[in-house]
Chain A
């Protein structure tokens, strides 16, 4: 990565501050944050249903969660394109839009929060919840005051892993987003096209910013997780 400084700091700054790079980095950051927020809610809900609810076919649904880890990312992009692309049976065409970026990232990061929260929910003692309910607490109150604080560290840890994955994701975006500069071109896709056109220095510069971005966010999430732990004690 030392190559990124080949043209001196001025060269690095020029490569990073060019409008296309700024737009791509901004899109990656915002889309990843949106995806993390959706995952935190949807992932917790899915884990809750998988642990506390009983229904037929639960085993199948449970193994479906791991599919995004097992499925190659390029295939993930193609599958989403089959349903949400121009010839999709729903009549919804998200291809080449910013919504497609979010959709692809949601697919590949699905397992992180679910798999982080699930074991904690399994271990959670029901007695506390029952005690609260017998004292007249409504279900939402029990969830907010008792369940959620216990799950928070796991939700944050899963979100952190999901964020790191979302920031660097490439394969699922290639076919689905169309790689349109200033609109749907994410940072990793920009780096790829820079490498292909021979601009290795520019690609290295954007890579450094991308690495810093995910590093800083992970640090922040780590801090947040620690502070929730302290609240407990």
Chain B
């Protein structure tokens, strides 16, 4: 196959699968004018969905970042039985369908679940409430920071930290002054990926949310709800908000990548 033919086939494949469809959604959202679009994304339900999505991200991303760095340190620096098992368990959310993750949460925290009875007695509702949706979001976006941090830590080694320790640095000092600056681009890339996933999670959140408009509806759930209610333009409008957020994360990804490589 000639060079030009290969280029033509590859580019048309990408255009038909990704480029044109995504462009078309933007066109469709603006079709009835920017004013109509603005109205559609500022209804009380839409605003609530937007803020709920932001809350999910604001809780899941910091938690998973701290957990990811700690877990990366444990996986790289310590030898213990069951290390391979821990590593496999962290990758689980990549291999398991989001729907199954949601189902697992229902089995544990639902009304008839293992912890559900005890939680209900104490007035805590997890399933069909924002708490369950936060749990689902944390679960699906768990592996990203760990997976980015582990290879960087492995390459870094412990020489510099040992030197710092012999010079009298406390473990906290050597972590803050040496380890953290060395892995910062890996952490940053992991944070971007975690954010993208937390923003866009649909399956797991959908299973545990109960989809109560204005209460437990995130932006992704709103896209589906509007579409099923034949408000196609409204669905396109909510989708464009999400797509723009995705575009920002994509730009952040590209900004970080080259620095990581150098």
Contacts and interface: CB of A to CB of B under 8 A. Distances in A.
Interface of A: 1, 3, 42, 45-46, 48-50, 52-53, 55, 61, 63-75, 78-80, 82-84, 89, 103, 106-107, 110, 161, 164-165, 167-171, 174-175, 187-189, 191-192, 195, 200, 203-204, 207, 210-211, 214-215, 218
Interface of B: 3, 6-7, 9-11, 13-14, 17-22, 24-25, 28, 94-100, 102-104, 106-107, 110, 193, 196, 199-203, 206-207, 219-220, 223-224, 227, 235-236, 239, 242-243, 246-247, 249-250, 253-254
Given A69-B196, A79-B24, A82-B28, A168 B96 contact: yes
B18 A64 contact: yes
Contacts of B250: 63, 66-67, 70
Contacts, number: 177
Contacts of A168: 95-100
B18 A67 contact: yes
25 contacts: A3-B107, A45-B13, A55-B7, A61-B11, A63-B250, A63-B254, A66-B254, A71-B243, A72-B199, A74-B223, A75-B243, A78-B223, A78-B227, A79-B25, A82-B28, A161-B94, A168-B97, A168-B98, A169-B97, A170-B98, A171-B203, A188-B100, A195-B106, A200-B106, A204-B103
Given A3-B107, A53-B7, A192-B206, A79 B96 contact: no
Contacts of B223: 72, 74-75, 78
B18 A68 contact: yes
A72 B140 CA distance: 13
B6 A82 contact: no
A55 B110 CA distance: 55
A221 to B, nearest CB: 13
A164 to B, nearest CB: 5
A67 B98 contact: no
B113 to A, nearest CB: 9
B261 to A, nearest CB: 10
Contact of A191 (B97, B110, B199, B202): B97
Nearest to A192: B99
Contacts of B236: 78, 82
Contacts of B22: 67, 71, 79
A187 B100 CA distance: 10
B3 A53 contact: yes
A110 B18 CA distance: 9
